[in-house]
Amino acid sequence: MTGESAADRAHAFVRGGIMDGTYPPGSMLSENEVAASLAMSRTPVRAALARLQDEGWVRIYAQRGALVRELTPAEVRESAEVRHALESAGVRRAGPRERERLREQLTGNLDEQERALNAGDFPTFTKLAMRFHRAFVELGGNATMLAMYDRLQDRQQLSIIRSADRITDDPQQVIEEHRGLLDDAEAGDWAAFATHLDEHQSRSHALEGR
C-alpha cells in the first residue's frame, strides 16, 4: 500500500467514525490508536488528520491529538434553513403524479424508521430519515436543487446524531411528524408542509428563535 492510499484509507476510516457517531464531538483522537486500528504507521494517519482539519471536522493539538469538532448552533440552524427551503420548493413544484408516487416510495421507509427506532438502531434510522427528507427535494425534478441539497448531507447527518437524545426520548413523535409531512406533500399543500417542516426541525434540533 502506498503512503497516499494509506492516508486515504485513514481519512475514510476516521471520517466514517465521525459521521456514524463512533467518534462523537469532543472525542480526542490519538494518532497511535488510529494507526494501530488500521495496522499502519502514524505518517499516513497524521496526513489524514491534517486533511480532516482542513475540512473542518477536527482540530489538531500538538502532543495531544485531534479533537472532533462539534457543529455550532449557527451551523445547525443555517443548514436546516437551506434544507427547509429546498424540501419545500420540491413539494411546491411537484405535480399530482409525482406526489402519488411519493406515497408508494416512502411508506416502507417510514415503517423501517419506526422499526429502527424501536430496536434502538439509531444509525439505520439516520440513513432512512435522510433518504426520507431527500425525497421531497427529488419531487421538484431540479438537478441543481438536488445537488445543493446533497452538499449538506454531512451536516444533516451530524445534526441528526447531535439530536439523538431528543429523538429517542419520544421516537413516536418523530415518526408522526414524518407521516404528517408525507400527508402534506401528497396533498400538494406546500404551505402546510413548510410550516410543519419548520416545527419538526425546531423540535428535533432544538433550534431557538425559529
Model pLDDT for residues 66-95, shown as the tens digit of each residue: 999 888 889 889 999 999 999 999 999 999
pTM score of the predicted model = 0.82
Same domain for 11 and 102, yes or no, is: no
Give residue 88's identity as a one-letter amino acid code: S
- What confidence score (pLDDT) does residue 205 get? 79
Domain that holds residue 110: 73-205
Same domain for 25 and 64, yes or no, is: yes
Instruction: Report CA-CA distances (Å) from 131 to 20, 71, 186, 187.
Output: 16, 21, 17, 20
Structural domains of the chain, count: 2
Q: Give the whole-number percent of the chain exceeding pLDDT 70.
A: 96
- What confidence score (pLDDT) does residue 87 get? 98
Same domain for 92 and 45, yes or no, is: no
CA distance 68 to 75: 15
What would the mean pLDDT of 120-135 be, rounded to a whole number?
95
Q: Which alpha helices (H) appear in the chain, and where do they start and end?
A: 3-19, 31-38, 42-54, 73-93, 96-118, 122-138, 143-150, 153-162, 164-169, 171-187, 190-205
SS3 state at 62: coil
The answer to whether the beta carbons of residues 68 and 74 sit under 8 Å apart is no
Same domain for 60 and 116, yes or no, is: no
* pLDDT over 90 (residue 179): yes
Same domain for 44 and 122, yes or no, is: no
CA distance 128 to 124: 6
Same domain for 189 and 94, yes or no, is: yes
Same domain for 25 and 119, yes or no, is: no
What would the mean pLDDT of 9-27 be, rounded to a whole number?
90
Where residue 54 sits, what CATH number does that domain have? 1.10.10.10
Give the burial class of 12: count Cβ atoms within 10 A of its Cβ; 0-12 exposed, 13-18 middle, 19 or more buried: exposed
Last residue of a domain, one of 44, 68, 92: 68
Same domain for 62 and 117, yes or no, is: no
Last residue of a domain, one of 34, 68, 102: 68
Same domain for 83 and 142, yes or no, is: yes
The answer to whether the beta carbons of residues 167 and 21 sit under 8 Å apart is no
Question: Do β-strands 28-29 and 58-61 pair in parallel, antiparallel, or remain unpaired?
Answer: unpaired
- What confidence score (pLDDT) does residue 21 get? 83
Same domain for 195 and 135, yes or no, is: yes
pLDDT confidence bin for 29, thresholds 50/70/90? very high
